[in-house]
């Protein structure tokens, strides 16, 4: 565990751009410290937008979340994300910030003000100052993990994803949360975790909450519960973070070898439609518009070739032209289609055209010249 912590702190220092600043809140009537971690590519990509992660207990949750996101981002399994940590360790602020009415089970006193501070002041400030995608996540641990559920009580919840690590639940929360999830129309991700060594008085309500959420039939809800063996109330945080992030951003991942073999190559048709749908889900559910990855193109191309569905290469070329208009990818796909269909003349024309465009991935000008010569020789023999 110590080695994992060192790794997370190391990756945070290596990749992130962190700044801590005072935030004067009129709602709270005080100044709070927030830490903002921007992705390493933020300055180099002036038009790119990033998901937003709001961390309660930011003083100790920010580094492990940052480390996990940086590591996943390095392999392009997780999207680069803007993280905002709210520092709550001064004078044990987290307790007052999370205050709720013991009878009604809703925020009260400082808790009500803190609730309004996040929604009415902090979010507008961050989203005006930084390039955020329309996808918000909130996370917390025990006391704050319970508090973040109050945002689900709103008719239009402020967040798209909720990461609740061993929450201390307010009265009736184990019933109200499933009720709210049942009635939601928009997609919502909900992650809940506990551990075998968790605090006893927290475990029973968490288990009831899990049982009740599992009864929810709303297809808009993406839910996951983890109970970690041999973990404590504190160590479960490090187990939970990657599990939660990979649940929420599962659709973002590039096509894997298992996805290729189990879901794509076994299709009878519609390989390109699978690719289109994959990126539509990324856009719709995660609010991210990203170009189709080259490796995903190659995976779909491989499935088409294996199943001899050569006509689909035409549609794949259309997507290539939209995503990489200056590259040779689209012309190459058309050349490959004509080649496989036995039309050497048209194939040679496409490969020749491709040779005049920008190289991409393993597609080079020399390769296009060789393909052109091969097709040309076939037309001359005829």
CB atoms within 10 A of CB 293: 17
Give me 254's structure tokens.
């590039």
Q: Which long-range contacts (CB under 8 A, 24 or more apart) does 354-362 make?
A: 354/328, 355/328, 357/326, 357/327, 357/328, 357/331, 358/326, 358/327, 358/328, 359/327, 359/328, 360/294, 360/324, 360/327, 360/328, 360/329, 361/294, 361/298, 361/329
Q: What is the CA radius of gyration of the chain?
A: 25
User: What φ, ψ does residue 54 adopt, rounded to 5°?
Assistant: -100, 125
| Closest residue by Cα to residue 162 from 212, 221, 232, 208 | 221
pTM over 0.85: yes
Least Cα distance to 195 among 242, 232, 146, 239 occurs for: 232
DSSP string, 336-369: HHHHHTT-HHHHHHHHHHHTTSB-BTTB-HHHHH
Q: CA torsion sign, 154 to 236 to 104 to 123?
A: negative
Q: Phi then psi for 322, rounded to 5 degrees?
A: -75, -35
Q: Over its length of 382 residues, how does the chain's per-residue pLDDT go in tens digits?
A: 444 444 444 444 445 589 999 999 999 999 999 999 999 999 999 999 999 999 999 999 999 999 999 999 999 999 999 999 999 987 779 999 999 999 999 999 999 999 999 999 999 999 999 999 999 999 999 999 999 999 999 888 999 999 999 999 999 999 999 999 999 999 999 999 999 999 999 999 999 999 999 999 999 999 999 999 999 999 999 999 999 999 999 999 999 999 999 999 999 999 999 999 999 999 999 999 999 999 999 999 999 999 999 999 999 999 999 999 999 999 999 999 999 999 999 999 999 999 999 999 999 999 999 999 999 999 876 5
φ, ψ dihedrals at 338, nearest 5°: -65, -35
Q: 177 — phi, psi (to 5°)?
A: -60, -50
pLDDT of residue 16: 58
- The values of phi and psi at residue 167, to 5°, are -75, 150
Domain 2-252 belongs in CATH node 3.40.50.1820: yes
Side-by-side strand order, sheet with 50-55: 17-25, 30-38, 82-86, 50-55, 132-141, 161-165, 188-197, 221-232
Show me where the domains of the chain are located: 2-252, 257-381
Thinking of the domain 257-381, which architecture would CATH place it in? Alpha Horseshoe (1.25)
Q: Which pLDDT does position 17 carry in this prediction? A: 85
Question: What's the pLDDT score for residue 382?
Answer: 52
């Amino acid at each position: 565990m110590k080695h994992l912590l060192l790794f997370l702190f190391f990756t945070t220092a290596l990749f992130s751009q962190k700044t801590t600043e005072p935030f004067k809140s009129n709602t709270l009537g005080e100044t709070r410290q927030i830490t903002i971690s921007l992705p390493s590519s933020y300055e180099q990509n002036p038009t790119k937008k990033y998901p937003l992660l709001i961390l309660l207990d930011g003083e100790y949750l920010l580094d492990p979340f940052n480390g996990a996101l940086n590591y996943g981002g390095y392999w392009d399994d997780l999207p680069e994300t803007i993280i905002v940590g709210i520092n709550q360790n001064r004078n044990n602020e987290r307790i007052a910030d999370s205050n709720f009415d013991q009878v009604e089970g809703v925020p009260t006193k400082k808790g009500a003000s803190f609730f309004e501070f996040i929604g009415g002041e902090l979010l507008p400030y961050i989203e005006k100052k930084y390039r955020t995608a329309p996808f918000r996540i909130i996370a917390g641990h025990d006391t704050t993990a319970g508090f973040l559920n109050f945002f689900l009580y709103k008719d239009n919840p402020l967040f798209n994803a909720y990461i609740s690590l061993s929450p201390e639940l307010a009265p009736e929360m184990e019933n109200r949360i499933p009720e709210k999830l049942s009635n939601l129309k928009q997609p919502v991700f909900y992650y809940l975790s506990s551990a075998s060594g968790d605090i006893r008085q927290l475990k029973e309500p968490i288990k009831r909450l899990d049982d009740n959420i599992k009864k929810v039939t709303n297809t808009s809800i993406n839910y996951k519960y983890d109970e970690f063996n041999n973990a404590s109330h504190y160590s479960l945080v490090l187990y939970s973070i990657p599990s939660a992030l990979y649940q929420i951003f599962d659709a973002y991942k590039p096509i894997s070898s298992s996805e290729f073999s189990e879901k794509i190559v076994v299709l009878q048709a519609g390989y390109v439609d699978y690719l289109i749908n994959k990126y539509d889900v990324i856009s719709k559910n995660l609010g991210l518009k990203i170009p189709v990855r080259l490796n995903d193109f190659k995976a779909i191309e491989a499935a088409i070739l294996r199943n001899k569905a050569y006509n689909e290469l035409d549609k794949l070329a259309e997507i290539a032209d939209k995503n990489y208009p200056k590259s040779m990818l689209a012309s190459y796909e058309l050349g490959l289609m004509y080649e496989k269909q036995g039309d050497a003349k048209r194939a040679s024309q496409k490969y020749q055209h491709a040779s005049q465009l920008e190289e991409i991935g393993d597609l080079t000008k020399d390769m296009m010249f060789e393909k052109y010569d091969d097709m040309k020789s076939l037309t001359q023999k005829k």
